[in-house]
Amino acid sequence: MPSAGALVALVVLVTAGAALADEPAFKPARLVSRFEPQKPANGAMSARPGRLTAQDEVYPTLDSQSQWFNPVNPEAGKKQKTTIYITNRGNQALPAGTIVSIWANKTTLAKASFGRAPFIFASPCGEKGEVNYKLPELVPLQTKAIKASWKVSETPGEATVLFFIDSACTAFNSSAEYGQQFFYTTVVAAGTKYAYLDIVAPVGIAGFETAFTPRFPPANGTYTANIPTINLGTAPSPEGVKMGLYAGFWQIPENASTDCTYPGQYSADVPEIAPGKTKVVAAEGIQAPETVDVGYTSLNPVLDVTCKLFPTPIVYYGGYQAAIAAKPGALLGATPEKDQIYYKIKTTPKKPKVNGTMTVKVKITNVGDAEGPVGRVVIFTTSIEDAPYVRYEYDDRCDPMLPEWVLGSTYSFNTTDIVIKAGKSKTVKITDVPVPDTAGWWGLTVVPDADCANEAARGMLWPPMPFNAFEAVAP
C-alpha cells in the first residue's frame, strides 16, 4: 500500500478515506478510434489519419471511440460513465438492433480463442453485458453517441471494464475477435475524494482543429489555444495548477514528464474545476509557423507543470493539429454536424438513380476572419472509404483533382455572386451533378473556393472540406 505521504502527492484528499489501490493510482482510459491522427515522426510532417488495413477489411465498418471514463477511479458501489461514439465506416447501412455491451468487472474466460491468442477477459458472441445498449440504423459515415454508465463493484480494488461492440454478432461474424476492448480501472473506497485533471479527448478528425482560434491560424501570425480540461476526480481541483503548451511534441524537453521546473513555451492558469466538469483553458499569443509551406501547426499541452497535483507533470503527446492559412482573410470550409464526422450535404433526390444527375446542397462556412466569395466549387464522388481523406491526398489546393489511385469522378460548378461573411454559413446549391453508374453507397466530398479566389487558401495543406455519403439506386 502507498504511504500517507505518497497519497498526498498523488491526489488532493478532501476527506479521510481508505487508501487507494497500489500505484500507479490513476489509469485514465477511453476507447480510441482506429482512424485518429497519429503522432508525427521526428517532427518532420504530421501523420495522416489511419486508413483501413488488411485486418480491417475483414471487419471494416464499426469504429468506436469515447471520452475518458469518469471518474478515473470510481468509488465502490457507485457509477463510472463515458460517452461512446459508434461510427459506421462501411459501404452499407447497418440495420437497427446492434448491441453494445459493457461489463464493469469481467473476470471469466471466453470459450473460444477466436483463431489466435485468446483474450484474457473476453466474451463469446451472444453473451449479455451488465449494461447493454441497442444502436439505431446507421447509414455510412453516421455516428451514434451513447451516454453509457455502469455500476462498479462494492469492493475496492482493480477491476476490468470490458466493452463489446456488436456483442450479439448480428452485424459481423468476426465481432467477437475484433469488437472487444478491455481496460483496467481502480475502484476506491466510498468517501475517497481526489482531483484528477486531463485533456478532453477530441472526437473525429475535425476535433483536432477545435483548440485553435482562428481555427486555421495564418502563417507568421499568432493564435489563441483553447484547451478543454476535465476533472475526472471526485473533488474540486485546487487553484494554482499550471498548464504548459508546446508548439509541437518535438519541442517538449525529454524530461518534461518527470521534472517540475519546465513552464512550457507558453503557459496558462487552470481554474478550479468541479468533479466531472470541463473548463476551457486559454493561452493567447502563440506563434504560428512562418510560412504556409510548413503545412500545419501543432499544440501539445502539459498539465500540472509545477507538480501541484501530482508527483510529475502529465504530458499530452496526442495534441492538436490544424492546417495553416497563407494569410488572414476569408477561408471557405465547413463545420461537422454535432457528434458526427460528416458535414451537412444533401442530395435531391435523396436516392438518385445511377447514370442520372442530382442536385447537391452543401452548407459552407467561412472559417476565416473576413468576408469572401465561395468561388468555383468542385465535387468529388468517391468510395465511402476515401471520402473523409481526400483532403489529405491531392497536391494542389488551388486546382483540386483526384489522385489516379482514388476511384471516383470530379465535377466542377461555378457559383456567381455568393459571398459569406466571416464566421457565417450559407447553403450552396449545385445542380446537374453526375450520379455514378453503379448502385450502392458513395462518398461525396466538396471543395469550396477551388480556384483560391481567397488568398488565405493559397498553398494550404489539408484544407477543410465537407463530406458525406449518399446512396445511388438502380432505375
- Which DSSP string corresponds to 314-353? EE--S-EEEEPBSSSS--EE--PPTT-SS--EEEESSSPB
Rg (CA), the chain: 24
Give the pLDDT mean for 9-25.
35
Q: Which CATH architecture has domain 1-194?
A: Sandwich (2.60)
- Give the pLDDT band of residue 60 (cuts 50, 70, 90): low
CATH number of 332-472: 2.60.40.10
Query: Does position 423 have pLDDT exceeding 80, yes or no?
Result: yes
Residue 36, phi-psi category: left (phi > 0), alpha (psi -120 to 50), beta (remainder): beta
The pLDDT tens digits for 228-238 are 999 999 999 99
Residue 432 has pLDDT above 50, yes or no: yes
Q: Is 246 exposed, middle or buried (0-12, 13-18, 19+ CB in 10 A)?
A: buried
Q: Could you tell me where in the chain the CATH 2.60.40.10 domains are found? A: 1-194, 332-472
The amino acid present at 431, given as its one-letter code, is T
The pTM score is: 0.86
Determine the Cα–Cα distance for residues 369 and 189; give it in Å rounded to an integer: 52
Q: Write out pLDDT tens, residues 104-113.
A: 998 775 544 4
| The three three-digit cell numbers of residue 253, written as one number | 524537453
Per-residue pLDDT tens over the stretch 352-375: 999 999 999 999 999 999 999 999
The per-residue pLDDT for 427 is 95
pLDDT at position 93 over 90: yes
Residue 409 has pLDDT above 90, yes or no: no
Higher per-residue pLDDT: 13 or 352: 352
| CA–CA distances in Å: residue 150 to residues 62, 69, 77, 153, 377 | 22, 10, 10, 10, 47
C-alpha cell at 218: 495564418
pLDDT digits (tens, 9 = 90+) for 257-303: 999 999 999 999 999 999 999 999 999 999 999 998 888 888 999 99
Q: Going by DSSP bridges, is the β-strand pair 197-199/425-434 parallel, antiparallel, or unpaired?
A: unpaired
Q: What is the pLDDT of residue 35?
A: 63
Say whether the peptide bond before residue 71 is cis (omega within 30 degrees of 0): yes
Q: Which stretch of 14-28, 237-251, 389-403 has the lowest confidence by average pLDDT?
A: 14-28
Averaged pLDDT for residues 399-416: 82
* Helix, strand or coil, per DSSP, at residue 467: strand
Q: What is the pLDDT of residues 169-221, one digit of tens each?
A: 988 887 887 788 888 899 999 999 999 999 998 877 677 788 899 999 999 99
Q: What pLDDT score was predicted for residue 110?
A: 52
**Fold classified for 197-323:** Immunoglobulin-like (2.60.40)
3 state DSSP class of 8: helix
